Structure 1
Amino acid sequence: MFVSAETFAVVLSAVGIVLSLGTAMLAGFAWCVRRIDAVETKLTTRIDTVETKLTTRIDTVDTKLTARIDAVETKLTNRIDAVETNLTACIDAVAEDVTELTVSVARIEGPARHLFVPGH
């Protein structure tokens, strides 16, 4: 079979164009993948650094807040205990006064004293 030189040149140039375009596209895709990997590595490092800083900061704030809450709790507990002691003392004093008042009222309202014996 006989192929003309022009046909052979056209087929050969078409194959060359397809190979050139394919190689260029493959190189471009490889460059994009390499670039994405570099950006991903950079972002991962940056995110890890920020995460470490935030974790440290949150732990510090948590420690400070825990200490402050414990101090407030202790202070309130002491104040509540003092108020409870005072109220208990006041209630006991009132109870004693009420008992004495009840006895006094009972003496006043008790049976009438007979100084004179009624005559027959």
Structure 2
Amino acid sequence: MSADSLTVVISAIGIVLTLGTGMFAAMAWVVRRIDAVDAKLTTRIDAVDEKLTTRLDSVEDKLTTRIDTVEDRLTARLDAVGADVTDLKIAVARLEGPPRHLLTAAR
């Protein structure tokens, strides 16, 4: 083998190794960078998730309290209306009922 052929073969192997090492290093950098971004995003997403969960729980508690208050007020009002209707039924029954026997009818 001549010196020129040997030089070309060694140069080709050197170029292939250099390019391969460079590509490997570049991919390692990309993977490391993606992992760093993923970790940052995961941290931010978890923080936002925690804030939203806290807020939603607070809103849910407030709405539950308001709904319970409204329900109690409506129950009280409906009970009052029911009592008034019962009193009204009794009054109408007295007006429409048979004449009282203890009173003398003037005819």
> What TM-score do the two structures reach when normalised by structure 2?
0.90
Matched, 1:17 2:31: no
Select 2:85's aligned residue among 87, 90, 110: 87
Give the equivalent residue in structure 2 for 1:45: 43
Following superposition, the deviation at residue 100 of structure 1 comes to 2.8
Which consecutive aligned stretches of 4+ in structure 1 deviate over 3 angstroms post-superposition?
none
Following superposition, the deviation at residue 48 of structure 1 comes to 0.4
Select 2:57's aligned residue among 56, 59, 63: 59
Following superposition, the deviation at residue 69 of structure 1 comes to 0.3
Query: Take 1:46 and 1:5, find their aligned partners in 2: how far apart are those partners?
Result: 61
- Percent identity over the alignment? 58
Give the equivalent residue in structure 2 for 1:117: none
- Listed one character per residue, the Cα deviations across residues 23-57 of structure 1 (whole Å, up to 9, x for unaligned) are 00000000000000000000000000000000000
Select 1:97's aligned residue among 95, 98, 102: 95
Query: Take 1:15 and 1:6, find their aligned partners in 2: how far apart are those partners?
Result: 14
Select 1:29's aligned residue among 27, 35, 40: 27
Structure whose alpha-carbon radius of gyration is higher: 1
Give the equivalent residue in structure 1 for 2:4: 6
Number of matched pairs: 101
Query: Take 2:89 and 2:42, find their aligned partners in 1: how far apart are those partners?
Result: 68
Coordinate RMSD, CA, aligned: 1.5
Give the equivalent residue in structure 2 for 1:116: none
- Listed one character per residue, the Cα deviations across residues 35-90 of structure 1 (whole Å, up to 9, x for unaligned) are 00000000000000000000000000011000000000000000000001001100
Give the equivalent residue in structure 1 for 2:104: none
> What TM-score do the two structures reach when normalised by structure 1?
0.81
Following superposition, the deviation at residue 97 of structure 1 comes to 1.5
